[in-house]
Amino acid sequence: MAAKEKKDVKITVCDASQKMIDLARDKGIETSFDRAASMKPCPIGAVGSCCKHCAMGPCRVPAPKKEGEPQKTGICGATAETIAARNFARMVAAGSAAHSDHGRGVAEVFLLAAKGEIPGYGIKDVQKLMQVAMDFGIDVENMSVDEIAVKVGELCVAEFGRQHGEITFAKRAPLKRRELWRKHNMIPRGIDREIVELMHRTHIGVDQDYKNITTHAARAALGDGWGGAMIATELQDIMFGTPVPIKGNINLGVLKDDEVNIIVHGHEPLLSEMVVVACQDPEMLAMAKEKGANGINLAGMCCTANEILVRHGIPIAGNFLQQELAIMTGALDAMVVDVQCIMQAVKDVADNFHTEVITTSPKAMMEGARHIQFEEHDPINTAKQIVTAAIENFPNRSETTLNIPEQKEDMVVGFSHETINYLLGGTFRASYKPLNDNIIGGRIRGIAGVVGCNNPRGVHDEDHLTLIKELIKNDVIVLTTGCAAMACGKEGLLLPEAAGKFCGSGLAEICETVGIPPVLHLGACVDNSRILIAATAVVKEGGLGDDISELPAAGAAPGWMSEKAVAIGHYFVASGVYTLFGTTFPTLGSKKFTDYLFKGLEEEWGGKWDFEPDPIEMAKKMIAHIDARRKALGIDKARERVLMDMEMRRELDAV
């Protein structure tokens, strides 16, 4: 196969992954890396210039090759900017739908759990329950915890189908932001409603004003970030526990050659929480022994992994592009999937090994895979069936195809915004003040959120790591989630020791004093809502402006690929954040629309989009933005003094 000749092309910076890719190529097993090499993206579709919203088309409207040539429109007359904006908006709609449907699933299970109808599920974080209850205006003084939980569950479920008013969590945003949202009619009325309306507006012959489409796309995206995703995070925390710093391991080396290996892959923690319990069940362990295994080893992949890692320290086998590679180890007895980011190709790779692919969601089945449906009234029973299937498959493993790479790295994870509060402020006076003071004083130059996927169109993990190292070298503290967080874990960036190794002197000093890594793992992609809350807490603490857009902060997704990433990017922009994507950008076919996203929006919303494929340039742009915000806040001089201090100290040391 052609893929063999490409062996010397760099495709990953992860040694374990490289080993498995080489193995797959030697065995003639195709992976996404090979398909990405042989299938070039369609140059018209990649930049948003193809419309297939009706059967008069598909219409292609690429930018004219020569100056003076007319710009084509679609058969209906839709302009290139309308087409690009509609395509972009549909990505936002799909991404928001994915997160929000996850959130709805959590809310429904939460409600059942609150009513005491799910054995094993209950309320773990009462304090957070109270906080959320107060956001909803529930009379917490006169109700029992159980009654409050039921009410919170009902109100959260209702947020999705709400038709009027404003979604509840929008009021968590800084006042100035809310006023701006109101001015532009951007506060979501209900989570589902805005997504449905966005699909309507992008149907043939409806909204033909790219700016108007962009604004409504923001309304739908805000319904994700401050709605569906935030509900998912909050209710998961209440039900399963709010993460606190915990140790974990990451990379394919977490798989064990003498134990039953199960990977839970996908996004929702609802079932995997119980798989964690089932794997520790004495009956299950005895069954595993009987089959000749020394135990049951559970690991995660993608965001399901992040969910059970931050709450239980369950190891992570890898990020998005490692899902096929985990099967290549020959050591995987079951790959259990729920929803989102599951490549259909896992089944094809699994057909070469004994690995059983088990689907669990009625929303996400796969031809040829075994389906064990998640029974939400009795998750422990479903979990035990799954673990039993894996154990029974263990004897089918072949020693000759066993190839577990040794790579695994330690990490410290679980930095919810509450934890950041405690760690930096102290247990007795939890507060964001020390963080703000250090930003104002210049030891911390600014805050960056670096999140998102892997994309085989670039080198696996490389851009994340290059960008993040450059940021922390320049004293920018990094908050991370999703597959970006996993790339950091594999590189050792999620360890407190990373501070001394990679950081500028200001940030290193803070990390060493507090004992935190310079890159803080906040969880799964739905937990980007934690970043919004942390940013808001920084604003509310004072001294750094009145709005998120005034903070010395920026966001990036250098290796994005999913529609969810576009939804996240758009709610960050609409929340006032300068947000950059790498790899590719889906609107470049229309200069007019792209200019609006990259320049025009800032005037209206305070945040804007940008595209930068080079990670070092991306870091420079983020730092330049951070410095501009520092200057606007009048705190640029403080940083110069800090740097002088450090320089002087070094000189003194040298004497």
Q: Contact positions toward ligand SF4, by CB under 6 A?
A: 51-54, 56-59, 74-76, 78, 83, 204
Under 8 Å between Cβ of 567 and 95 = yes
Instruction: Provide the residue count of the chain.
Output: 655
Nearer to ligand SF4 (CB atom), residue 58 or residue 241? 58
Reported in sequence order, the residue ranges of 172-304 that DSSP labels E, i.e. its strands, are 246-250, 260-265, 296-301
Dist. CA 437–CA 343, nearest whole Å: 45
Q: How far is the CB of 285 from ligand NFS (least distance, A)?
A: 30
- Tell me whether the omega of the peptide bond preceding residue 119 falls within 30 degrees of 0, making it cis: no
Dist. CA 580–CA 599, nearest whole Å: 12
Q: Which of the choices ligand NFS, ligand SF4, none does residue 264 contact, using the CB cut-off of 5 to 8 A by kind?
A: none
Nearer to ligand SF4 (CB atom), residue 204 or residue 244? 204
Dist. CA 76–CA 82, nearest whole Å: 11
* 320: contact with ligand NFS by CB under 6 A: yes
Task: Name, in order, each residue with C-beta under 8 angstroms of 294's C-beta and a sequence gap of 6 or more.
Answer: 256, 258, 259, 288
Count Cβ atoms within 10 A of the Cβ of residue 627 and give its class: 0-12 exposed, 13-18 middle, 19 or more buried: middle
Q: How far is the CB of 270 from ligand NFS (least distance, A)?
A: 15
Per DSSP, what are the bridge partners of residue 260?
Answer: 296
Q: How far is the CB of 302 from ligand NFS (least distance, A)?
A: 3
Give me the DSSP letters along 84-121: HHHHHHHHHHHHHHHHHHHHHHHHHHHHHHHTT-STT-
Dist. CA 240–CA 432, nearest whole Å: 25
Under 8 Å between Cβ of 22 and 7 = yes
Residues 253-272 that bind ligand NFS (CB under 6 A): 267
Under 8 Å between Cβ of 113 and 219 = no
Dist. CA 167–CA 191, nearest whole Å: 8
* 482: contact with ligand NFS by CB under 6 A: yes
Return the C-alpha torsion angle 609, 610, 616, 617, nearest 10: -140
Dist. CA 326–CA 317, nearest whole Å: 7
Q: How far is the CB of 58 from ligand SF4 (least distance, A)?
A: 6
Binding span for ligand NFS by CB under 6 A among 487-495, 557-565, 597-605, 635-643:
557-565
- Selected binder of ligand NFS within 393, 562, 590, 594 (CB under 6 A): 562
Q: Which of the choices ligand NFS, ligand SF4, none does residue 181 contact, using the CB cut-off of 5 to 8 A by kind?
A: none
Pairing relationship of beta strands 246-250 and 409-413 according to DSSP bridges = antiparallel
Q: How far is the CB of 47 from ligand SF4 (least distance, A)?
A: 15
Nearer to ligand SF4 (CB atom), residue 86 or residue 151? 86
Q: Which of the choices ligand NFS, ligand SF4, none does residue 76 contact, using the CB cut-off of 5 to 8 A by kind?
A: ligand SF4
Nearer to ligand NFS (CB atom), residue 156 or residue 484? 484
- Selected binder of ligand NFS within 483, 537, 551, 573 (CB under 6 A): 483
209-228 burial, b at 16+ Cβ within 10 Å, e below that, comes to: ebeebbbbbbbbbbbbbbbb
Nearer to ligand NFS (CB atom), residue 109 or residue 453? 453
Return the C-alpha torsion angle 10, 15, 19, 22, nearest 10: 0
* 586: contact with ligand NFS by CB under 6 A: no
Binding span for ligand NFS by CB under 6 A among 237-245, 371-379, 531-539, 559-567:
559-567
Return the C-alpha torsion angle 406, 407, 411, 417, nearest 10: -120
- Selected binder of ligand NFS within 303, 328, 342, 476 (CB under 6 A): 303
Nearer to ligand NFS (CB atom), residue 89 or residue 341? 341
Nearer to ligand SF4 (CB atom), residue 87 or residue 579? 87
Q: Which of the choices ligand NFS, ligand SF4, none does residue 483 contact, using the CB cut-off of 5 to 8 A by kind?
A: ligand NFS
Q: How far is the CB of 360 from ligand NFS (least distance, A)?
A: 16
* 564: contact with ligand NFS by CB under 6 A: yes
Nearer to ligand NFS (CB atom), residue 549 or residue 562? 562
AA identity, residue 44: I
* 630: contact with ligand NFS by CB under 6 A: no
Q: Which of the choices ligand SF4, ligand NFS, none does residue 353 contact, using the CB cut-off of 5 to 8 A by kind?
A: none
Nearer to ligand NFS (CB atom), residue 562 or residue 579? 562
Dist. CA 464–CA 482, nearest whole Å: 12
429-460 burial, b at 16+ Cβ within 10 Å, e below that, comes to: eeebbbbbebbbebbbbbbbbbbbbbbbbbbb
* 341: contact with ligand NFS by CB under 6 A: yes
Nearer to ligand NFS (CB atom), residue 303 or residue 622? 303
Q: Which of the choices ligand NFS, ligand SF4, none does residue 204 contact, using the CB cut-off of 5 to 8 A by kind?
A: ligand SF4
Dist. CA 342–CA 328, nearest whole Å: 16
Binding span for ligand NFS by CB under 6 A among 16-24, 137-145, 382-390, 562-570:
562-570
Nearer to ligand NFS (CB atom), residue 252 or residue 303? 303
Neighbours of 584 (CB within 10 A): 16
Nearer to ligand SF4 (CB atom), residue 86 or residue 625? 86
Residues 491-530 that bind ligand NFS (CB under 6 A): 525
Q: Which of the choices ligand SF4, ligand NFS, none does residue 315 contact, using the CB cut-off of 5 to 8 A by kind?
A: none
Q: How far is the CB of 202 from ligand SF4 (least distance, A)?
A: 9
* 452: contact with ligand NFS by CB under 6 A: yes
Dist. CA 355–CA 334, nearest whole Å: 5
Nearer to ligand NFS (CB atom), residue 61 or residue 232? 232
Per rule CB under 6 A, count of chain residues that contact ligand NFS: 13
Would you report the helix, strand and coil content of the chain in percent, each value rounded to 5? 55, 10, 35
Q: Which of the choices ligand SF4, ligand NFS, none does residue 302 contact, using the CB cut-off of 5 to 8 A by kind?
A: ligand NFS
- Selected binder of ligand NFS within 89, 302, 519, 554 (CB under 6 A): 302
* 188: contact with ligand NFS by CB under 6 A: no
Dist. CA 292–CA 471, nearest whole Å: 48
Name the residues that contact ligand NFS, by CB under 6 A: 267, 302-303, 320, 341, 452-453, 482-483, 525, 562, 564-565
